[in-house]
Amino acid sequence: MRVDVVTLFPELVDGPLSGSIVGRARSRGILELGFSNPRDFTEDRHRTVDDRPYGGGPGMLMMAEPLYRAVKAVSKRGSRVVFLTPRGRKFDQALARELSKEKRLVLVCGHYEGVDERAHSLADDEISLGDFVLTGGEPAAVAVIDALTRLLPGTLKKSDAAEKESFTEPLLEAPQYTRPAVWRGKKVPAVLMSGDHAAIEAWRAKESLRLTKKRRPDLL
């Protein structure tokens, strides 16, 4: 199986997966692990991959274009692209078994406050470890790769039991956007550039409820 991880910090994934059972699976050719760094696909001298969100808010967002190029660089015919995000469906043993049957998998790690919403169009699937906050998607990538590698033929004779996770957050976060205002024909919602903070908060509340109803109705 080939897994490519799109990440700003490859060492955070490569290191933990270089030893023990997964490390042996890699050395025996059961698992092939590769990396694609969005910084390598920037065009400015600072290798910029993040910017402030439209509409205001804390932190920075990963920009769509470097991420798009990094994903496309490692995506082949038949690749399944998975975004690691708090708003994704819950990762469990059943999903680990599903992913372990793929021949090629691309795991995309977000960072900072998240990813420009338009880049999510690249995803075939979105996965979350649970309702808690990590510094980035790299620890989640490690967990996903570890879990599915144990299920690959030749790694173990039998898999471990699934772990149960609890959920506490009420709603998913609303979509976010950063520069440019128009990216590959997709526009940032006008309300986020209006400067009307009340309208922005109302839009975010509505979008948060819409996404939660669509993706995670069990949280309502």
Is the full-model pTM beyond 0.85? no
Is 165 a residue whose pLDDT tops 60? no
Rounded to 10°, the helix 138-149/20-27 angle is 70
β-pair partners for 61: 51
What's the domain count of the chain? 1
| CATH for 58 | 3.40.1280.10
Domain membership of residue 204 (yes or no) is no
Query: Do the Cβ atoms of 17 and 44 come closer than 8 Å?
Result: no
CA distances from 140 to 147, 150, 153, 181, 209 (A): 11, 16, 22, 30, 25
Query: What mean pLDDT is predicted for residues 178-185?
Result: 97
What pLDDT, on the 0 to 100 scale, is given for residue 158? 59
The confidence band for 171, taking pLDDT boundaries of 50, 70 and 90, is confident
Domain membership of residue 214 (yes or no) is no
Domain membership of residue 12 (yes or no) is yes
Query: Do the Cβ atoms of 37 and 66 come closer than 8 Å?
Result: no
What is the domain range of residue 161? 2-169
Question: Where are any strands of DSSP class E within the chain?
Answer: 2-6, 32-36, 50-51, 61-62, 80-90, 104-109, 125-128, 182-183, 186-187
- Which amino acid is present at 151? L
Is 157 a residue whose pLDDT tops 70? no
Domain membership of residue 201 (yes or no) is no
Q: Distance (Å, rounded) from C-alpha 154 to C-alpha 39?
A: 35
Percent of the chain residues past pLDDT 70, beyond the cut: 94
Domain membership of residue 29 (yes or no) is yes
Q: What is the pLDDT of residues 115-149, one digit of tens each?
A: 999 999 999 999 999 989 899 999 999 999 999 99
